[in-house]
């Protein structure tokens, strides 16, 4: 009996020691840089923006926050800084909704940046769970409360990442460990901040972004079997509610922060697809724009840009990999347009760009485009 009890005690003590050692390792290495910027070990970064952003907010020195969805996630932070003359942190999250974006922005605004550049579109204001029921975003890491810190420090998976970062920091092991570090095996495979969620140098840009791809996507989403895609998330009342709760509320609470908000340059095919296959969805988009554009321009700390009418971009289908996502060349073009103030919405005529968009959509004919 005593032997069994002693063995159980030894097991519990050993288990406790391992857990404490893992927590100490995670605190010492701090792979997410949640407590401090990387100094003793080379910094490594994760492509999981919803997790990584919590660390970037705490570890980076910035005066500008760049937020958006997959339409903004491939931007290079160095390009944002160079073309806009800022010191930025890129917090864009693929597939993110306005609830997630507003929550992450609120955390970043605690660091007192001067400016927010916010890539916005109507789809982000879809129905979404509250933050504490969002299974993809670790809200407590942003809050840095006891629960979040405990889950971070006592994570076995995070301890594995910490060990790998330590191994990579040992000069004789660095080449081997670097070759073995991939996103398939580890959460933190990216060694350079500027490379987070950007396209690799060997990525076939022309092969991925071209008119053939864009037109194929148009054909796919206008097929009656698949056109239900065009209706998903487009509920006018829900969109307005999310817009007020997540965007307007954040702007109102931060009157000293300059918000540069831009509506993404979707390809013209996105709106034409709605026109041809889901007119009710297009009406919801138009109605939401008619509400949102004047609402945003009411605020003196907001500059609004509507790139949906930038026909030199949106009508050139070689810029797109589908009907939404544009090439890296357009990333640079958008930044240049922001710097120039081009396509800024006139406060005296906030819906003028919407009228231009409607005219472009009405006039466009897909049949005139070579497939």
CA distances from 238 to 7, 18, 198, 260 (A): 59, 48, 32, 24
Evaluate the CA torsion angle 71, 73, 76, 81 in order and state its sign: positive
d(CA 189, CA 165): 9
So where are the chain's domains? 206-371
Instruction: For the chain, list residues with pLDDT below 70.
Output: 1, 6-8, 11-12, 14-18, 172-185, 368-371
* Residue 19: predicted pLDDT: 74
Per-residue model confidence as pLDDT tens digits over 290-323: 999 999 999 999 999 999 999 999 999 999 999 9
Q: What local confidence, expressed as pLDDT, does residue 370 receive?
A: 45
pLDDT tens for each residue of 32-77: 999 999 888 889 999 999 999 999 999 999 999 999 999 999 999 9
Query: Quick one: pLDDT at residue 371?
Result: 42
The CA-atom distances, in angstroms, between 97 and each of 26, 185, 308 are 30, 28, 19
Nearest to 324 by CA among 312, 336, 335, 313: 313
| CA–CA gap between residue 354 and residue 336 (Å, rounded) | 22
């Amino acid at each position: 009996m005593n032997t069994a009890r002693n063995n159980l005690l030894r097991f519990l003590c050993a288990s406790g020691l391992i857990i404490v050692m893992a927590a100490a390792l995670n605190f010492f290495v701090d792979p997410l840089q949640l407590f401090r910027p990387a100094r003793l070990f080379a910094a490594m970064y994760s492509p999981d923006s919803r997790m990584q952003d919590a660390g970037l907010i705490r570890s980076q020195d910035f005066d500008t926050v760049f937020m958006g969805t997959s339409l903004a996630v491939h931007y290079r932070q160095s390009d944002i800084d160079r073309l806009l003359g800022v010191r930025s942190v890129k917090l864009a999250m693929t597939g993110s909704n306005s609830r997630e974006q507003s929550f992450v922005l609120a955390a970043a605004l605690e660091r007192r940046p001067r400016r927010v550049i916010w890539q916005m579109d109507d789809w982000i204001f879809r129905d979404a769970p509250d933050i504490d029921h969002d299974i993809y975003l670790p809200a407590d890491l942003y809050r840095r409360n006891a629960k979040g810190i405990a889950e971070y420090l006592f994570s076995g998976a995070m301890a594995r990442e910490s060990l790998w970062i330590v191994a990579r920091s040992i000069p004789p092991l660095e080449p081997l460990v670097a070759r073995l570090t991939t996103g398939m095996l580890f959460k933190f495979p990216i060694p350079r901040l500027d490379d987070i969620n950007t396209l690799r140098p060997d990525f076939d840009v022309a092969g991925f972004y071209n008119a053939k791809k864009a037109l194929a996507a148009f054909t796919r989403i206008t097929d009656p079997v698949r056109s239900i895609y065009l209706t998903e998330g487009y509920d006018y009342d829900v969109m307005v509610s999310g817009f007020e709760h997540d965007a307007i509320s954040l702007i109102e609470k931060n009157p000293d922060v300059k918000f540069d908000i831009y509506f993404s340059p979707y390809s013209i095919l996105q709106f034409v697809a709605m026109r041809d296959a889901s007119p009710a969805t297009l009406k919801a988009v138009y109605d939401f724009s008619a509400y949102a554009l004047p609402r945003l321009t009411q605020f003196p700390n907001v500059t609004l840009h509507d790139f949906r009418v930038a026909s030199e971009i949106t009508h050139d289908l070689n810029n797109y990999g589908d009907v939404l996502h544009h090439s890296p060349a357009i990333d640079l073009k958008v930044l240049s347009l922001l710097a120039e103030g081009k396509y800024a919405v006139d406060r005296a005529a906030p819906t003028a760009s919407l009228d231009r968009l409607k005219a472009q959509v009405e006039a466009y004919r897909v049949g005139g485009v070579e497939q």
